[in-house]
A and B are shown apart, each in its own frame.
Chain A
Amino acid sequence: GENVEQHPSTLSVQEGDSAVIKCTYSDSASNYFPWYKQELGKGPQLIIDIRSNVGEKKDQRIAVTLNKTAKHFSLHITETQPEDSAVYFCAASKSNSGYALNFGKGTSLLVTP
């Protein structure tokens, strides 16, 4: 089955700096890659997703890049703010292959003022 590796497990940045979280996947047929943000005491919230027909997608301070050849995708957060502090999860899945999103183990991001 699909295996998703996520790095780093913890990340600390200063406010205003950029943060990058990377994920690799094993199944070359995977074609859907969402990113979720989970704040303390809350469920995961979708922040951005990308499908394999594009290489990059941006939404204000958040961007995701996808390298299908290398089978990795990354989340980029620019101009980080303290409210960006949370656990971020990547996931990968493919069409017509059951119902499971295959999640990474998460990255705990801390943005210090």
Chain B
Amino acid sequence: ETGVTQTPRHLVMGMTNKKSLKCEQHLGHNAMYWYKQSAKKPLELMFVYSLEERVENNSVPSRFSPECPNSSHLFLHLHTLQPEDSALYLCASSQDAGSTDTQYFGPGTRLTVL
């Protein structure tokens, strides 16, 4: 297991629920990422934070709301999701925010939206 942890590992929620995913990195990195992994599709970058500041938002619907209170913690707040949002949500971190900085992934949260 890497130095990136995610909770919960599994989550089932209804379309009207509000839930949050948590990520914590123990690597002393400055950048954190949220990715969505769906079957038969490449990983999709959702959000990037660098030193607690959001630097990228890849046209993600507003029902996904990220929060980065410090460089070690990252949250993804979920509200009024759709069944097509069911996927594995992965958190990653890297020393600095950049496309050529090595990214280290957590184990993911398997989300099912009913």
Chain A positions near chain B (C-beta within 8 angstroms): 4, 31-32, 34, 36, 41-46, 49, 51, 89, 93-106
Q: Could you say which residues of chain A place their CB within 8 Å of the CB of B42?
A: 4, 89, 102-106
| Bound-complex Cα distance A103 to B58 (A) | 15
21 interchain pairs (CB within 8 A)?
Answer: A4-B42, A32-B99, A34-B102, A41-B107, A42-B1, A43-B92, A43-B105, A43-B106, A89-B42, A89-B43, A93-B100, A94-B100, A98-B99, A99-B33, A99-B48, A99-B97, A101-B45, A101-B103, A105-B40, A105-B41, A106-B42
Q: Are B56 and A43 in contact, CB atoms less than 8 angstroms apart?
A: no
Given the interface pairs A43-B2, A99-B33, the reply to whether A31 lies near B41 with Cβ below 8 Å is: no
| A106 contacts across to B, CB distance below 8 A | 42
Residues of B close to A98: CB separation below 8 A: 56, 99
Alpha-carbon distance A51/B99, docked complex (angstroms):
12
Complex CA–CA separation, A72 to B49 (angstroms) = 30
Q: Please give, as numbers and ranges, the residues of chain B lying within 8 Å of A41 by CB-CB distance.
A: 107
In the complex with contacts A94-B99, A95-B98, A99-B48, A46-B43 CB distance below 8 A: no
Write the nearest CB–CB distance from A80 to chain B, whole angstroms: 23
B66 at the interface (CB under 8 A from A): no
User: What 10 additional pairs, Cβ within 8 angstroms, besides A31-B100, A42-B1, A99-B45?
Assistant: A32-B99, A32-B100, A42-B108, A43-B4, A43-B90, A46-B103, A99-B56, A100-B58, A105-B40, A106-B42
> Which of A46, A49, A100, A105 is B99 in contact with, Cβ under 8 Å?
A100
Q: Is the CB of B43 within 8 A of A103?
A: yes
Q: Is B55 an interface residue (CB 8 A)?
A: yes
Known: A4-B42, A43-B90. A49 touches B105 (CB 8 A): no
**Looking across the interface, which residue of chain A has its beta carbon closest to that of B110?**
A41
Distance, CA A49 to CA B103, complexed state (A): 11
A-B interface, 9 closest residue pairs, ranked by CB to CB distance from nearest: A93-B99, A43-B105, A32-B100, A103-B42, A99-B48, A103-B43, A43-B107, A100-B45, A44-B105
1/0 per residue B81-113: CB within 8 Å of A? Answer: 000000000101000011110111111100000
In the complex, A72 Cα to B99 Cα: how many Å? Answer: 19
